[in-house]
Structure 1
């Protein structure tokens, strides 16, 4: 019996000693940018081995967990996917990713007069981030939670941080889509054609007269010409 107990005890010690090595995970972190040193917020970072996914933050920084030899794929709309390999067995490994620009058109979408370049890019963005956008909003801790309900130990509290991040991403995504649409119509080529402005003057005029989303959605092309002309006259008079 004593021998058996010793064997069991040694087995437990052995398991405790080596379990951390077997289950050790690597924290992979770094910054995602492009060749022009432009940081890429909300790039998708996927561990192909574990199936886990993460997003880079507004500064382009990301964090994801994995094991040695796991393949990490980084994707961002308008750029070629990039794959890196985890080489460490434990600890933290820093991998900065510099992405290469790619063609804008989405495979599988028929490029005809039915789709504008903006619409094609929008379809691709929706496809990439759908796994987040399609998730329904969950209840947050606090708010309607009854007083004295003990929200400190509530499961809702535990997931509130991620839920807030998800909601913020949805808001940022909606704003990004609006800005992309505005930029697809209020272009430097069009403004130059109407006003004749170039260089810094063109950039300053477009910055000072950046239109709102509702205007761009309701105005037709001919009226947009007149809108730019009126804005240019007022802008020029103000400068003079």
Structure 2
């Protein structure tokens, strides 16, 4: 065997060995170093999603590119050669450096633009409905009274178990993230800090503790949101800041979606 073919042979051996194994890793925010949950992990035709601590495991398919997509972050890709190595990914936030006044005036327009792109990218997942129980009942043109209605057992089972499927969970996760991002742009760190003067952990605790509902964020104008923040700030000063407030408040919205 010629030595010039040795690298190719070794590469093929690694690729073959990788089938059937799992690629594991952790995704964190490159700025804050906090875990990034809800990131979509793709490797070949396989997909999964990061957990609440940013961790993931996905079947290796040999020599495929690992692709990580999360709303608000730059897409990450990496060729996986050795699935035995745990992967640590620093996901970089997508940043737009423009004047503050432009951000304030156009943030809803930017959100709509990003949301439209997200819905287009995940159109199939966003539009997922799944079968209903009524879909399982098939109507017939009656020849006799016994043929008025029949039941499609397979459709009935799919309707009763759809909430445990990956497609259903992913659909709910996308819808939840869309609402979360809308609240984030209306009740942003920048706006809250500007109105209250809060910084750091105290600002984070305030934002989590007094986070408005999606319904309120939809109907509130910028002025009404500022009034809401001022009223909440008065209450915040009266109640005082507790050391464990940030941790306790952050648990209110903790939801773990398992797609497998």
1:76 maps to 2:70: yes
Q: Show the counterpart of 2:123.
A: 130
TM-score calculated relative to the size of structure 2 = 0.59
- Evaluate the alpha carbon distance shift between residue 139 and residue 183 of structure 1 in structure 2; reply closer, same or farther with a 3 A threshold: same
How far the C-alpha of 1:98 sits from its partner, in A, is: 0.7
Report matched runs for 1:17-96 at 5 Å. 25-34=19-28, 35=30, 36-47=33-44, 52-59=45-52, 60-66=55-61, 68-77=62-71, 78-87=73-82, 93=84, 95-96=86-87
Counterparts of 2:165 and 2:107, CA distance in 1? 37
- Evaluate the alpha carbon distance shift between residue 69 and residue 183 of structure 1 in structure 2; reply closer, same or farther with a 3 A threshold: closer
Q: Show the counterpart of 1:101.
A: 92
For the residue of structure 2 that corresponds to 1:116, the secondary structure is: helix
Counterparts of 1:102 and 1:200, CA distance in 2? 20
- Evaluate the alpha carbon distance shift between residue 199 and residue 87 of structure 1 in structure 2; reply closer, same or farther with a 3 A threshold: closer
Report matched runs for 1:147-166 at 5 Å. 160=161, 164-166=165-167
For the residue of structure 1 that corresponds to 2:25, the secondary structure is: strand
Counterparts of 1:100 and 1:61, CA distance in 2? 14
Figure out how many residues of one structure are paired with residues of the other and give that number.
199
Counterparts of 1:114 and 1:79, CA distance in 2? 19
Q: Show the counterpart of 1:178.
A: 179
Cα deviation code 1:40-81 (max 9, x no counterpart)? 42413041xxxx131224243132352x33444333331232
Counterparts of 1:120 and 1:104, CA distance in 2? 15
Q: Show the counterpart of 1:117.
A: 110
1:219 maps to 2:220: yes
Q: Which runs of 5+ in 2 are unaligned?
A: 1-15, 97-104, 138-150, 242-260
Cα deviation code 1:131-180 (max 9, x no counterpart)? 3223441358xxx79xxx9x7xx587589478633212222221221111
- Evaluate the alpha carbon distance shift between residue 71 and residue 156 of structure 1 in structure 2; reply closer, same or farther with a 3 A threshold: farther
Counterparts of 1:84 and 1:95, CA distance in 2? 13
Q: Which runs of 5+ in 1 are unaligned?
A: 1-21, 106-111
Higher Rg of the two aligned structures: 1
